[in-house]
Chains A and B, each alone.
Chain A
Amino acid sequence: MVDVRLVDEWFMREVLPLEAALMRFLRNNGRGESDPADLRQELYVQLYEAARRGLPTCARAFAFRVARNLLINQLRRSRVVSMEAMADLETLNIAVTTITPEQEAAARNELRRLQAGLRCLPAKCREVVELRRIDGLSQTEVATRLGVCESTVEKQLAYGLRALTDFMLGGDGKIRRAPATLRKKAEAVRLQEEAVS
């Protein structure tokens, strides 16, 4: 087994930059039934666990191969299997598109991309992120400055982190909030975490 720290760094260095292209691949070739975030999670879990057994030499080829197999299995599991759809997937050319020229240019100037992502954040969240990440204030200092409690600051930072990460990895920087039932469950999980810590 490869050391988890090595796999972690490999994953961040080699796989995450491919997210935009991988998501496009999944979107264009999938059936649109699964939630994209679920599909991405499934893909990443498989990539990570495979890498634990041995780091692949070419992350790009490997990632797209696993993505294609994921879609094939998804198709097999679904009730109505179109033979054409299956054939299409199996002959899919894996040397897939590179990211668009615009994305490539933006990726090169990461600071610009971060700023664009910042502009997409809701006002309050943006203010918190700017105080913390641009000004370097601690969470306590941000809370004092804005006159709110620290847990609010934490919540805003967590939201901002998700949105910025999503944006930087090629998404639109919009985080959909979970419906009420799942939020309650998440709250229960969070309380559990807190009890432990």
Chain B
Amino acid sequence: MSGAEEIEAAAARWRVRRDRGDWSEDDQRALTAWLNASTAHRVAWLRMEYGWRRSHRLAALRLPMPQSSIGETHDTRRACHRYATGVMALAATLVAVAVGTWIVWQDIGAVHHYETEIGGHRVVPLRDGSRLELNTDTRLSAEIDDRARTVWLDQGEAYFEVAHDASRPFVIHAGKHRIVVLGTRFSVRRSDHDLLEVAVADGRVRIDALDVAGTEAPAIAVRGEVAVAAAASTLVTPVSPERVDRELAWRRGVLIFDNTTLADAVREFNRYNRQQLMIDDTVAVARTRISGSFEAANVQAFVRLLHSAYGLRVEDRGDRIDIAG
């Protein structure tokens, strides 16, 4: 029907072909040539790339397969199915499953979505008496019913005060990890590169890594501990109560730095403010260590302090502020 349709069909073919096991350097050269031949090719390709990436989510629907199927190899694409196992176990109690067919998710209607914008802070009371606080730039969903309590932390950081209920463990899914609690107070933060940080103010939490083949012992963190989880390994460290308090200071709108490098402090401020601070990570001044408490939303005050106390040069450029030595 149109030139655009043909180009789109070609882009789709290319995208699908690229995922074959036998993609060679010659194939790559041909694809690059096709992409460079016209911007129309390139935008069509980007559209298909977008669709392909998003369709990866479908892996969450996978049913646990019996061991003896298809002679599978254990490559990383299969990693998703373990994540799905946890979700499926929960979902199975809520949705009817017809044997041999795919689950069709009915609109359960009980999943609630919550979001904060950059610099935002939101308190969410849950039906079971638990309480969530969402920090800056956070997205999560919660589903509480008679049989289960589940939260999906898609992005950002939240503080949880979970009402005690032994009959309904409170489960938080964050990337490839799952956190299970009975009743307790703690924060969970998802950072770049799939890093997860859990700071426990009270009680106990269990952290499972879900894409590990075999039985990896879950990590348990208790009051006064901070757990950092990356991929399959979780490091639990006992810390001072002050440290836990520092991790949770955002709840009061405050950022506390204790001998923190300027580069790290800048990164932290940037989570909470649209006006971004820019500092060259490679220069010595970025490694200057600073300490103190700051209002998370008051970038100007922070920057004024950097200038007056540390003699740093500061230039306000509207959507960003450049910091130099």
Residues of A at under 8 Å CB distance from B? 8, 11-12, 16, 35, 37-38, 40-41, 44-45, 47-49, 57, 105, 108-112, 114-115, 118-119, 129-130, 133-141, 145, 154-155, 157-159, 161-162, 164-165, 168-169, 175-179, 182, 185-186, 189-190, 193, 196-197
Contact = CB atoms under 8 A, between A and B. Distances in A.
B51 A49 contact: no
10 residue pairs, one from A and one from B, having the closest CB atoms: A165-B51, A41-B4, A44-B43, A158-B12, A37-B4, A35-B2, A157-B16, A136-B77, A133-B58, A197-B30
A133 B16 CA distance: 11
B6 A178 contact: yes
* Most chain A CB atoms below 10 A, which of B3, B16, B49: B16
Contacts of B77: 136
A114 B2 contact: no
Interface stretch (B59-67, B196-204, B282-290, B294-302): B59-67
A48 B34 contact: no
A111 B15 CA distance: 21
Given A109-B113, A112-B105, A115-B104, A162 B12 contact: yes
Nearest to A105: B113
B48 interface: yes
- For chain B, the bracket of interface size reads 35 or more
9 contacts: A11-B46, A108-B113, A111-B60, A133-B55, A134-B59, A158-B9, A161-B12, A175-B5, A179-B1
Interface in B14-38: 15-17, 19-21, 24, 26-27, 30, 33-34
Given A169-B47, A178-B5, A154 B16 contact: yes
Interface of B: 1-10, 12-13, 15-17, 19-21, 24, 26-27, 30, 33-34, 39-40, 42-44, 46-62, 65, 70, 77-78, 80-81, 102, 104-105, 107, 111, 113, 141, 319
A165 B48 contact: yes
Contacts of B15: 158, 161
B217 to A, nearest CB: 26
Contact of A41 (B21, B43, B53, B113): B43
B6 A185 contact: yes
B50 A165 contact: yes
Contact of A190 (B8, B13, B53): B13
A130 B55 CA distance: 10
Nearest to B77: A136
Contact of A197 (B9, B26, B58, B78): B26
Contact of A12 (B49, B57, B62): B49
Contact of A162 (B19, B48, B81, B105): B48
Given A115-B105, A165-B48, A193-B30, A40 B4 contact: yes
Contact of B39 (A48, A158, A175): A48
Nearest to B17: A154
* Most chain A CB atoms below 10 A, which of B17, B43, B56, B104: B43
Contacts of A57: 319
A140 to B, nearest CB: 7
* Most chain B CB atoms below 10 A, which of A105, A155, A179, A196: A196
Identify whether the interface residues of B are mostly helix, strand, loop, or mixed: helix
A8 B54 CA distance: 16
Given A161-B55, A193-B34, A12 B46 contact: yes
B40 A168 contact: no
A115 B3 CA distance: 29
A115 B104 CA distance: 8
A16 B46 contact: yes
B8 A164 contact: no
Given A38-B4, A162-B12, A197 B27 contact: yes
Given A11-B46, A110-B57, A137-B70, A161 B51 contact: yes
Contacts of A114: 54-55, 57-58
Contacts of B51: 161-162, 164-165, 168-169
Nearest to A182: B6
Given A114-B57, A139-B19, A145-B70, A16 B47 contact: yes
A99 B52 CA distance: 23
Contacts of A41: 3-4, 7, 40, 43-44
* Most chain A CB atoms below 10 A, which of B8, B13, B51: B51
Contacts of A175: 5
A18 to B, nearest CB: 12
Contact of A159 (B12, B20, B34, B49): B12
Nearest to A195: B30
Given A45-B40, A130-B102, A162 B9 contact: yes
B6 A139 contact: no
